[in-house]
Amino acid sequence: MLPSSANTVIIGGGVLGTSAAFHLTDAGHSDVLLIDQGPIASGTTPQAAGQTGYLNTDEFAFKFGQYCIEFFETFEQRTGRAIDFRQSGSLRVALTEKYQNDLDARLQAATGRDHDVEFISADRAKTLVPTFNPPDDCRILLIPRDGYVEPKSVAVAYTAAACDRGATVHTRVEATGLVINNGRVTGVKTNDGVVETQWVVLAAGAWTRNFAQQLGLNLRTVPVRHQAFVTAPITDVTPDQPIVRFTEPQLYVRHEAGGLLVGGYGYRPLSFDMNDFHRKFEISALEADPVYYQQLRDQAGKFFPSLGGATITQERRGLPTISPDGRLILSEPGGLRGLVVLSACGVGGIDRSPGAGRMVADIVGERTPWIDPGVLSVDRFGDNFASDASLRAQCEEIYAHHYHEIY
């Protein structure tokens, strides 16, 4: 039976909500209730490629990413819960001068911080990734600490570790609204009754914007479609080969079940208003864009010729949330105490989930946040992007340049 009260209620059992549950309970907040309208990890999270990538030239993003990578490296040992983290490393490939300079900047960011990052030759790249055919004039940065997790495992492991620490989880419970008294949240309305609470963490993925709209909040984030595909096994593809990321064309290619998993950005970006779907819509029912898939395959095939004849065994797609500056939205909104909005993770919610969960625990614990929270504030856009049209256009643009931007 759904409890009638909890100190903190988390709405959404994707990777962000479950990370919040883990970090809250790990920090000693045991009276935490996590609810999801479906099963745990049934939204965009299980569709992800699960790649991590911490090396950034932006100081904030670097510090944030460093916490995340250290967290993934140690989580299993700390909690006994498996996240299937394979630290394969990654190759960041730049074809043109503009983005070759970006690689220099990344190398510089790592230098002096004891991060073992280096430029490698095309021949070495071919040895590491035998099916990869790099162009002669490209530059390639090897980042050994990158890797990938099984995304559903991560949300499941966060949930299990949170339950080990006292959290309660109720699935098939839909939050329908909040109870607000004198500018402070005091409860969550659900299809199974009201839960009295002091804190609500809103981590409802693609549904976050619409949920907030009924509270009178215009969150600057929209869901944008992202797609990837997986092939049947291909000779010479191995689980330990590094991820290959191309700054241009924006593509990633990694091992999956003996085949290749391929995704990319800038291909027909499309945002959604969740009110346009029927009430019981599930992410797994999101329609495919076959042209996008074909474009991905054509581009990736130039560097991975074996993709040409490969059979596609799985398509992945979902609705990650994007903000107008590409950063997370993570704070209490001005004028409404007790609500922590946790959204706009971009196509990086798995990767960013540790740092985001830690920030939630700091806010609820009313401690000084571990990292400057200003850049993530819900209210940072002021009056900008207030109309749906301008917001959607900007978020599609940000998504379309995911690998070009630094944030």
Ligand X SMILES: Cc1cc2nc3c(=O)[nH]c(=O)nc-3n(C[C@H](O)[C@H](O)[C@H](O)COP(=O)(O)OP(=O)(O)OC[C@H]3O[C@@H](n4cnc5c(N)ncnc54)[C@H](O)[C@@H]3O)c2cc1C
Q: Which is nearer to ligand X, 50 or 242 (CB)?
A: 50
Q: Which is nearer to ligand X, 100 or 190 (CB)?
A: 190
Q: Which two tokens stand for residue 153?
A: 């495992």
Q: Which is nearer to ligand X, 7 or 284 (CB)?
A: 284
Shortest distance, CB of residue 147 to ligand X, whole angstroms? 11
Q: Which is nearer to ligand X, 60 or 119 (CB)?
A: 60
Q: Give the closest residue to 255 by CA, choosing from 29, 87, 20, 135.
A: 87
Contact set with ligand X (CB under 6 A) = 11-17, 35-38, 42-45, 47-51, 174-175, 203-207, 211, 226-228, 263, 316-318, 320, 345, 347-351
Shortest distance, CB of residue 207 to ligand X, whole angstroms? 4
Distance CA 83, CA 298 (A): 32
Shortest distance, CB of residue 173 to ligand X, whole angstroms? 6
Q: Which is nearer to ligand X, 161 or 204 (CB)?
A: 204
Q: Which is nearer to ligand X, 100 or 237 (CB)?
A: 237
Distance CA 394, CA 322 (A): 9
Q: What is the DSSP string of 2-69?
A: --SEEEEEEE--SHHHHHHHHHHHHTT---EEEEESSSTT-SSGGGS--EE----SSHHHHHHHHHHH
Distance CA 290, CA 84 (A): 30
Beta pairing, strands 90-94 & 139-143: antiparallel
Q: Which is nearer to ligand X, 14 or 326 (CB)?
A: 14
For 282, other C-beta atoms within 10 Å of its C-beta total 11
Q: Please say whether the beta carbons of 115 and 63 come within 8 A.
A: no
The CA distances from residue 47 to 44, 106, 148, 217, 225, in Å, are: 5, 28, 13, 28, 11
Contacts of 172 (CB under 8 A, 6+ apart): 36, 37, 38, 39
Shortest distance, CB of residue 163 to ligand X, whole angstroms? 17
Alpha helices per DSSP H over 138-246: 151-164, 208-213
Shortest distance, CB of residue 368 to ligand X, whole angstroms? 25
Shortest distance, CB of residue 42 to ligand X, whole angstroms? 5
Contacts of 341 (CB under 8 A, 6+ apart): 202, 208, 212, 217, 219, 329, 330, 331, 332, 333, 378
Reduce the DSSP state of residue 264 to 3 states and report it.
Answer: strand
Q: Which is nearer to ligand X, 15 or 185 (CB)?
A: 15
Shortest distance, CB of residue 373 to ligand X, whole angstroms? 18
Shortest distance, CB of residue 345 to ligand X, whole angstroms? 4
